């Protein structure tokens, strides 16, 4: 088992397949773009398979594809097919634009846990957040997934003054849709001009929801051990909603997540400034297992050691981290 120095077991690997995306969300992709890794430094399909199998040997039992946008990777179907042979749960976080082109692969490879990142239900606002015009395509693909028997989750990054006026609309979707709407607190990453005053924490959201639906109709839903979102549901609604509060109420005590970047580096935490280059080690036929164990063991207790994001130290540490697009959430 992959344990860190605090005894947390790590069995959930998030693999970023690409640094590229077909959207330009302002809180993820820095306004002046990013420096992409040279193509030869990006993991090839067979290397992803070898590294993933190393992690599975060490106890990983869930793999999530992320990006950038994982579905823009031309050989996505090939990678998914290779990893579907590993004995673990398969999941993906996608912006939903290309789902219709890969839904058969999802079925064939057992990719059952699908999270769709969508921050507005208003076309104009969606276009202003993403700097692209794909709203209808994304919504059509959400409907397509439901019609094909999937239960996608919706990930919404909530930013004050941008989309915090749509919380009730998103929760309204859970009346008919047996889905989970996850409200993600706006987090600081390199180049996303984060500001604490733009965050909306769980208490604020719950106050709004209770005011709208009546406190007695807002029911707590049991959270599972490693869950990142704290979930609730509206009485009589099919689905539920949750808050992922990394800034105001971190959930690091039960963290089981490791990240592998598209250029083959392990990040033992979303906010860790240090990384381990697994890809070069693999290409040099070095022992990657020890590197994985050591990197996980040295994980900090919380948020990569960032105590307060709003402090000067917190700001500097976040700016020395990668931009969100190069981590994949
Ligand atoms: S901030 Fe780091 S330690 Fe905390 S839950 Fe996220 S990945 Fe885990």
pLDDT digits (tens, 9 = 90+) for 58-68: 999 999 999 99
pLDDT digits (tens, 9 = 90+) for 274-296: 999 999 999 999 999 999 999 99
Contacts by residues 122-131 (CB-CB < 8 Å, ≥ 24 positions apart): 122/166, 125/162, 125/163, 125/166, 129/25, 129/26, 129/27, 129/162, 129/163, 130/23, 130/24, 130/25, 130/95, 131/23, 131/24, 131/25, 131/26
How high is the pLDDT of residue 130? 96
Give the pLDDT band (50/70/90) at residue 26: very high
Q: Give the chain's mean pLDDT.
A: 96
How high is the pLDDT of residue 242? 98
Q: Where are the domains of the chain?
A: 12-327
How high is the pLDDT of residue 31? 74
Residue 245 Cα, ligand 1 centroid: separation in angstroms? 11
From 4, 5, 269, the mutation candidate for ligand 1 (largest count of ligand atoms within 8 A of CB) is 269
Residue 236 Cα, ligand 1 centroid: separation in angstroms? 33
Residue 318 Cα, ligand 1 centroid: separation in angstroms? 14
Which of 109-118, 138-147, 155-164, 186-195 has the weakest average pLDDT? Answer: 186-195
Residue 136 Cα, ligand 1 centroid: separation in angstroms? 33
How high is the pLDDT of residue 4? 98
Superfamily of domain 12-327: Aldolase class I (3.20.20.70)
How high is the pLDDT of residue 225? 87
Alpha-carbon distance of 293 to 304, in angstroms, equals 17
Residue 8 Cα, ligand 1 centroid: separation in angstroms? 11
Please name the residues in contact with 258: beta carbons below 8 A apart, sequence gap of 6 or more. 2, 10, 12, 13, 14, 55, 60, 266, 267, 268, 296
Alpha-carbon distance of 310 to 188, in angstroms, equals 9
- pLDDT above 90 for 30: no
Give the pLDDT band (50/70/90) at residue 33: confident
How high is the pLDDT of residue 178? 93
Residue 250 Cα, ligand 1 centroid: separation in angstroms? 8
Residue closest via CA to ligand 1's atom 6 equals 270
| Pairing status of strand 265-267 against strand 230-234 | unpaired
Average of per-residue pLDDT across 263-280: 96
With a Cβ cut-off of 6 Å, ligand 1 is lined by 246, 250-252, 255, 257, 269-271, 302-304
Residue 302 Cα, ligand 1 centroid: separation in angstroms? 6
Which of 6-15, 79-88, 124-133, 310-319 has the weakest average pLDDT? Answer: 310-319
- pLDDT above 90 for 186: yes
Burial 95-112 (b: 16+ CB within 10 A, else e): bbbbbeebbebbeebebe
Give the pLDDT band (50/70/90) at residue 329: confident
Residue 159, classed as helix, strand or coil, is coil
Give the pLDDT band (50/70/90) at residue 175: very high
- pLDDT above 80 for 168: yes
191's tokens: 């180049």
Average of per-residue pLDDT across 305-313: 92
Report which ligand 1 atom has the smallest distance to the Cα of 250: 4
Give the pLDDT band (50/70/90) at residue 1: confident
Average of per-residue pLDDT across 32-48: 94
Give the pLDDT band (50/70/90) at residue 161: very high
From 12, 251, 298, the mutation candidate for ligand 1 (largest count of ligand atoms within 8 A of CB) is 251
Whether 292 and 2 have beta carbons less than 8 Å apart is answered as yes
Residue closest via CA to ligand 1's atom 5 equals 252
How high is the pLDDT of residue 312? 92
């Amino acid at each position: 088992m992959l344990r860190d120095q605090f005894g947390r077991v790590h069995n959930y690997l998030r693999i970023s397949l690409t640094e590229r995306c077909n959207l330009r969300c302002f809180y993820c992709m820095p306004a002046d773009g990013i420096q992409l890794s040279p193509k030869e430094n990006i993991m090839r399909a067979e290397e992803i398979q070898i590294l993933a199998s190393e992690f599975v040997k060490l106890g990983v039992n869930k793999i999530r594809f992320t990006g950038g946008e994982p579905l823009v990777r031309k050989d996505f179907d090939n990678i998914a097919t290779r990893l579907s042979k590993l004995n673990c749960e398969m999941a993906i976080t996608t912006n939903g634009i290309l789902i219709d082109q890969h839904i058969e692969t999802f079925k064939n490879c057992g990719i059952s846990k699908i999270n769709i990142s969508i921050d507005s239900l208003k076309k104009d606002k969606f276009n202003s957040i993403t700097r692209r015009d794909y709203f209808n395509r994304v919504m059509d693909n959400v409907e397509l997934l439901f019609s094909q028997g999937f239960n996608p989750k919706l990930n919404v990054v909530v930013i004050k003054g941008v989309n915090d006026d749509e919380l009730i609309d998103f929760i309204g979707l859970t009346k008919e849709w047996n889905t989970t709407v996850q409200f993600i607190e706006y987090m600081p990453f390199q180049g996303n001009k984060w500001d604490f005053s733009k965050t909306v924490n769980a208490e604020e959201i719950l106050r709004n929801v209770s005011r709208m639906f009546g406190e007695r109709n807002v029911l707590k839903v049991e959270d599972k051990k490693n869950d990142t979102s704290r979930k609730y549901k509206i009485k009589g609604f099919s689905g539920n909603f949750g808050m992922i509060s990394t800034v105001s109420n971190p959930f690091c005590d039960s963290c089981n997540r490791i990240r592998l970047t598209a250029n083959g580096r392990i990040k033992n935490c979303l906010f860790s400034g240090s990384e381990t280059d697994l890809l070069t080690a693999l290409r040099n036929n070095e022992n990657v297992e020890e590197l994985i164990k050591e990197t996980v063991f040295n994980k900090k207790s919380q948020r990569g050691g960032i105590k307060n994001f709003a402090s000067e130290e917190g700001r500097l540490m976040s700016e020395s981290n990668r931009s969100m697009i190069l981590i994949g959430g």
